[in-house]
Chain A
Amino acid sequence: MPSIASLRLIDFRSYAALDAAFEPSVVALYGPNGAGKTNLLEAVSLLAPGRGLRQAGVGSLARVEDGMSQPAWGINAQLHSLEGDIDDPTRISIGQVPEHPRKRQLKIDGRPATGPELARRLSLLWLTPAQDRLFSGAASDRRKFIDRYALAFAPDHGTNASRFEKARTERNRLLSENVSDRLWYEAIEADLSNYGARVAQARMTTVTNLQIEVSARKTAFPQSLIGLDGNLENRFADGADLTTVAEDYRAQLASTRSIDLRAGRTLIGPHRTELHVTHAEKAMPAALCSTGEQKALLIGLILAQARAVHDKEPILLLDEVAAHLDAVRRAALAEELLDLGLQIFMTGTDQSLFSDFGARAQFFHVADGALANLDGMEE
């Protein structure tokens, strides 16, 4: 998969108009707080299906001038074309048009396209300060975290997860309205167990692959032990196959229907799964580690994921990562990232945070909605 050759932003967040060209290697963005570094990272993150690294709604992305949101905004990216003999780089356009104020528009090479088509062109991984509380925060955030990683191993994981959620919503509706039609339940539970088992299986595959990558390489970042605790995931861990797990879950749903009826919702399934991460060396749950160690564990995980899905050439977005690290780990991070050989966008408040990259990265100073590269040339 290609990397981003150039980016053009129009009326996006703090940028009225921006043109920037990027190398397919490490891109370091530095500048004061509020300069627009994360906005740029967010623009790149929107080139993957979903709501980007801030999880922002479509209405909040337009540039605001004199208290008024601009009616239209756009992100245009040209991708480095690595394959084929024809020099015709792909262009991705994401934005909003005044005619459809609540709809995000997506085009590939000028033609309307869908999220899955976009996912086939670009693969993105990101780490943001918002994830600093991942281990101590809500279990649902950890499930989201592993589900996002799972997309790289099982492309239909997103579809399966949303079908599972739809079936679960249906079943919960029946339960809360005290419906007692057995055949109706059975029809829904057939779907629920089928997709639930697939979701759990994809998560297990992900965690297994991730653990292999984590254990295979000793870095300056602490190794984690990654585990899933969930009814279905545990069955896979014991060696059961997809059909068995789905069948057993289906039987379980049927037998717990009366308990679920009293609760008014579905009590067992992959929607209750917990992701456990342990600091391997200290044998300490990640949630109990210091903030700095938690960050280091997270960096270890994203590096492992990048190696695990390396054939997809993911683009990494690392927001304010270097600032939390001591000098030794900062130097180690630079070497690890350069070793990946991927396109990596990083932000930091000060250029010195990236000194370990030396001449091996492309530097941009970000200020007042504009980018200037190292020798002060306006892009």
Chain B
Amino acid sequence: MSKHSVSPEIDRLISLLAKLPGLGPRSARRAALALLKKPEALMKPLALAMGDAAENISTCSTCGNVDASNPCNICATPTRDNTTICVVQDVSDLWAMERAGAFRGQYHVLGGTLSALDGVRPEDLNIANLIRRAGEGRVAEVILAMNATVDGQTTAHYITDHLETTGVKVSRLAHGVPVGGELDYLDDGTITAAMKSRRPF
């Protein structure tokens, strides 16, 4: 597509859309066209919603969640258990935990994992804040809910070492057979991990 055949407004829209995760130049063009076809039903409401979110949503200074209030709704709910903190990599992981509804405590969002390739160092993550929260006395347990990737586990080890001084109990999510999963389809590492952390039935 030559630069001359597309107006700069559309070009700019496409190049901004292409910066979104999961979208490349091709899907950004499709998304832009879909928006342009429905200016009233889709494009203007989307622009409004984006402006609204950009205006009102901020990062919770306690846990790192994103919400319209600070502290966020989860931190501010008095009925939630404030003696356990579940540490997650990103807000998407917090949402996944909340969708499952399996946890009623508080969260701590790191904002990523340690990664030499991506240039992420400990001071780039929300770790100092976590250690401060864990040392406040009221917290009894920190649950590390990191992804089971090398970077995720490296980060979990790093945090565990730093939490030692606080004396709180540190646990991590189990690794093993997924619910509804078949052994035949599992890789060797998962089977080994599942075998190691087997439990009395």
Chain A residues within 8 Å of B, Cβ to Cβ: 8, 10-11, 17, 70, 72-74, 76, 86, 88, 93-99, 105, 107, 109-110
A/B pair count, beta carbons within 8 Å: 42
Across-interface contacts of A72 in B (CB, < 8 A): 115-117
The smallest beta-carbon distance between B114 and chain A, in angstroms, is 9
Q: A88-B19, A97-B150 are in contact. Are A8 and B119 (CB under 8 A)?
A: yes
The smallest beta-carbon distance between A114 and chain B, in angstroms, is 13
Q: A74-B116, A95-B117 are known contacts; what are 15 more A-B pairs with Cβ within 8 Å?
A: A8-B119, A17-B121, A72-B115, A74-B119, A76-B118, A76-B119, A86-B16, A88-B19, A93-B117, A93-B118, A95-B116, A96-B117, A97-B115, A107-B118, A110-B118
Contact: A73 with B118, CB < 8 Å? no
Jot down 24 A-B pairs with beta carbons below 8 A, ordered by A: A8-B119, A10-B116, A10-B121, A70-B116, A72-B115, A74-B118, A74-B119, A76-B118, A76-B119, A86-B16, A93-B118, A93-B119, A94-B117, A96-B116, A96-B117, A97-B115, A97-B116, A97-B117, A97-B150, A98-B150, A99-B150, A107-B118, A109-B19, A110-B118
Q: A10-B121, A88-B19, A109-B19 are in contact. Are A74 and B150 (CB under 8 A)?
A: no
Contact: A74 with B19, CB < 8 Å? no
Cα separation A371 to B151 with both chains bound (whole Å)? 28
Cα separation A88 to B118 with both chains bound (whole Å)? 17
The smallest beta-carbon distance between A84 and chain B, in angstroms, is 8
CB closest residue in chain B, given A78: B119
Cα separation A105 to B151 with both chains bound (whole Å)? 14
Pairs of residues from A and B, 10 with the lowest C-beta to C-beta distance, nearest first = A76-B119, A95-B117, A74-B116, A10-B116, A72-B116, A74-B117, A8-B119, A98-B150, A73-B116, A105-B117
Q: List which B114-136 residues lie within 8 A (CB) of chain A.
A: 115-119, 121
Q: List which B86-123 residues lie within 8 A (CB) of chain A.
A: 115-119, 121
The smallest beta-carbon distance between A137 and chain B, in angstroms, is 35
Chain B residues within 8 Å of A, Cβ to Cβ: 16, 19, 115-119, 121, 149-151
Cα separation A17 to B116 with both chains bound (whole Å)? 9
Across-interface contacts of B116 in A (CB, < 8 A): 10-11, 70, 72-74, 95-97
Cα separation A72 to B115 with both chains bound (whole Å)? 8
Cα separation A295 to B75 with both chains bound (whole Å)? 66
Cα separation A248 to B10 with both chains bound (whole Å)? 49
The smallest beta-carbon distance between B139 and chain A, in angstroms, is 30
Cα separation A94 to B116 with both chains bound (whole Å)? 9
Cα separation A203 to B141 with both chains bound (whole Å)? 67
Across-interface contacts of A98 in B (CB, < 8 A): 150
Across-interface contacts of B150 in A (CB, < 8 A): 97-99
Across-interface contacts of A110 in B (CB, < 8 A): 118
Cα separation A74 to B121 with both chains bound (whole Å)? 11
Cα separation A17 to B115 with both chains bound (whole Å)? 12
| A72, A73, A86, A105: most-surrounded residue (chain B CB, <10 A) | A72
Cα separation A200 to B85 with both chains bound (whole Å)? 66
Cα separation A107 to B117 with both chains bound (whole Å)? 9
Cα separation A109 to B15 with both chains bound (whole Å)? 13
The smallest beta-carbon distance between A98 and chain B, in angstroms, is 5
Across-interface contacts of B118 in A (CB, < 8 A): 74, 76, 93, 107, 110
Across-interface contacts of B117 in A (CB, < 8 A): 72-74, 93-97, 105, 107
CB closest residue in chain A, given B153: A98
Across-interface contacts of A76 in B (CB, < 8 A): 118-119
The smallest beta-carbon distance between A82 and chain B, in angstroms, is 15
Contact: A74 with B115, CB < 8 Å? yes
Across-interface contacts of A93 in B (CB, < 8 A): 117-119
Across-interface contacts of A109 in B (CB, < 8 A): 19
Cα separation A10 to B151 with both chains bound (whole Å)? 14
Cα separation A72 to B150 with both chains bound (whole Å)? 11
Cα separation A73 to B115 with both chains bound (whole Å)? 8
Cα separation A107 to B121 with both chains bound (whole Å)? 17
| B115, B117, B150: most-surrounded residue (chain A CB, <10 A) | B117
Across-interface contacts of A88 in B (CB, < 8 A): 19
Across-interface contacts of A107 in B (CB, < 8 A): 117-118
The smallest beta-carbon distance between A258 and chain B, in angstroms, is 51
